[in-house]
């Protein structure tokens, strides 16, 4: 079996995907027309050509403009349904999906439109055998009080979410600013994750672990600069949701061959592979596995470990995780019997 066949065949969970980052230019144009929203770009091709970034902020500037076309419940449904369809094609069986409520409420879009649209798309994905958990993220470039107010506003929807996260511009916006809202989220029984160490220093990862008490770190690349931190992540089995193509497109690594994923696995970190914002970075989850495997010369065994980690690192109940891992072990047996 070739590497790409193995990747396609393996059941996977995707733990780091921003639904708004799955807004493909074609759908973006369709929604702009539907909502009579005028775009600066004349065509899908012209828009795609603008997707060249040298850092996180350059991406975020265009990402927040793109999501202006999302206005109605139907738009949020279409967005999520399109992503779930792509994920199903990649044999993704479970998704923990991020979205940015403040990027929509700040434009006057009601939370109800967002949640209703997503929930209808999730019900359809569930019918096709895929489980989905929603994780709203707080925008860290906004004041922490805004995050607290957003969390209060989400009270009617707490049943519909599994956790909260922290994203957007990292440098200069440390996790320590968000202790209050994370305490509230944990008290409400939610899981917590935070983007840290994508561009920001190892210190931000320490803060996410020690002060926000997160269950998982998103990216975490720069943990590898601090051996004590690596020890902490390994000891506590804190999963990292790694996004190879995103890291390449945003200049976090200049070449995928320099990506820390292999070192993470070798250190015993529960590293997982994810797509982050696939419409902007050139690939959904299987493409991320394939590019990482090729650049880092990952073995079939490494790839199987990554697929298993995606479930171990998820917030699924133990019995579901065990059942997905048993399916992966079936494929592992086929690999062994062929070699």
> Can you state the angle between helices 318-338 and 300-312, rounded to 10 degrees?
170
- Which residues fall within 8 angstroms of residue 285, CB to CB, at 6 or more apart? 12, 14, 17, 87, 90, 92, 273, 274, 275, 278
User: What track of x and - describes contact with ligand ADE for positions 246 through 275 (by CB under 6 A)?
Assistant: x-----------------------------
198 a catalytic residue: yes
CA–CA gap between residue 93 and residue 331 (Å, rounded) = 15
Among 12, 14, 18, 321, binds ligand ADE (CB under 6 A): 18
- Which residues fall within 8 angstroms of residue 164, CB to CB, at 6 or more apart? 135, 136, 137, 138, 151, 181, 182, 185, 190, 191, 192, 193
Is 163 one of the binding residues for ligand ADE (CB under 6 A)?
Answer: no
Q: How far is the CB of 8 from ligand ADE (least distance, A)?
A: 25
Closest CA to 20 of 91, 123, 102: 102
Question: Tokens representing 120?
Answer: 């209808």
Is 104 one of the binding residues for ligand ADE (CB under 6 A)?
Answer: no
Annotated catalytic residue within 14, 20, 24, 198: 198
Among 90, 167, 215, 332, binds ligand ADE (CB under 6 A): 167
Among 6, 12, 13, 21, binds ligand ADE (CB under 6 A): 21
Q: Which is nearer to Zn ion, 15 or 296 (CB)?
A: 15
Q: Select the binding partner of residue 21 from Zn ion, ligand ADE, none (C-beta < 5 to 8 A, by kind).
A: ligand ADE
Q: Select the binding partner of residue 272 from ligand ADE, Zn ion, none (C-beta < 5 to 8 A, by kind).
A: none
- Which residues fall within 8 angstroms of residue 131, CB to CB, at 6 or more apart? 93, 94, 95, 316, 320
What single DSSP character describes residue 339?
Answer: -
Residue with tokens 């994923």, as numbered in its chain:
261
Is 198 one of the binding residues for ligand ADE (CB under 6 A)?
Answer: yes
Q: How far is the CB of 118 from ligand ADE (least distance, A)?
A: 16
Interface contacts to Zn ion, rule CB under 5 A? 276
Q: Select the binding partner of residue 56 from ligand ADE, Zn ion, none (C-beta < 5 to 8 A, by kind).
A: ligand ADE
Q: Which is nearer to ligand ADE, 247 or 321 (CB)?
A: 247
User: What track of x and - describes contact with ligand ADE for positions 38 through 77 (by CB under 6 A)?
Assistant: ------------------x---------------------
Q: Select the binding partner of residue 168 from ligand ADE, Zn ion, none (C-beta < 5 to 8 A, by kind).
A: ligand ADE
User: What track of x and - describes contact with ligand ADE for positions 276 through 295 (by CB under 6 A)?
Assistant: xx------------------
Asked whether the beta carbons of 220 and 170 are under 8 A apart, the reply is: no
CA–CA gap between residue 70 and residue 168 (Å, rounded) = 18
Q: How far is the CB of 324 from ligand ADE (least distance, A)?
A: 26
Is 30 strand, coil or helix? helix
Is 14 one of the binding residues for ligand ADE (CB under 6 A)?
Answer: no
How many residues are given for the chain? 339
Phi, psi of 135 (to 5 degrees): -130, 95
CA–CA gap between residue 248 and residue 42 (Å, rounded) = 27
- 84 CB neighbour count, 10 Å cutoff: 23
Q: How far is the CB of 329 from ligand ADE (least distance, A)?
A: 32
The catalytic residue positions are 198
Interacting residue ranges for ligand ADE, rule: CB under 6 A: 18, 21, 56, 167-168, 195, 198, 246, 276-277
């Amino acid at each position: 079996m070739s590497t790409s066949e193995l990747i396609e065949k393996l059941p996977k969970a995707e733990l780091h995907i921003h639904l708004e980052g799955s807004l493909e230019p074609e759908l973006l144009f369709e929604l702009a027309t539907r909502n009579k929203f005028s775009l600066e770009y004349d065509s899908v091709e012209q828009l795609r050509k603008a997707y060249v970034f040298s850092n996180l902020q350059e991406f975020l500037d265009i990402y927040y403009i793109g999501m202006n076309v999302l206005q109605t419940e139907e738009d949020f449904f279409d967005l999520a349904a399109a992503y779930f369809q792509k994920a199903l094609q990649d044999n993704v069986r479970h998704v923990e999906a991020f979205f940015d409520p403040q990027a929509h409420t700040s434009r006057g879009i009601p939370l109800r439109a967002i949640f209703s649209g997503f929930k209808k798309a999730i019900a359809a994905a569930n019918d096709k055998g895929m489980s989905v958990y929603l994780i709203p993220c707080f925008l860290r470039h906004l004041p922490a009080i805004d995050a607290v107010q957003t969390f209060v506003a989400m009270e009617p929807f707490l049943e519909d979410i599994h956790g909260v996260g922290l994203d957007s511009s990292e440098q200069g916006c440390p996790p320590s600013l968000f202790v209050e809202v994370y305490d509230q989220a944990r008290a409400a029984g939610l899981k917590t994750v935070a983007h840290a160490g994508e561009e920001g220093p190892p210190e931000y990862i320490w803060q996410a672990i020690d002060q926000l008490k997160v269950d998982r770190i998103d990216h975490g690349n720069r943990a590898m600069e601090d051996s004590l931190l690596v020890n902490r992540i390994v000891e506590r089995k804190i999963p990292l949701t790694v996004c190879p193509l995103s890291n390449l497109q945003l200049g976090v690594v200049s070449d995928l061959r320099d990506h820390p994923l292999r070192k993470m696995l070798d250190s015993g970190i529960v590293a997982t592979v994810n797509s982050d914002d696939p419409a902007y970075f050139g690939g959904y989850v299987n493409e991320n596995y394939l590019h990482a495997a090729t650049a880092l010369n990952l073995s079939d065994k490494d790839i199987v470990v990554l697929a298993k980690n995606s479930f171990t690192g998820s917030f699924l109940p133990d019995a579901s995780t065990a059942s997905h891992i048993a399916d992966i072990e079936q494929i592992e047996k086929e690999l062994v019997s062929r070699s």
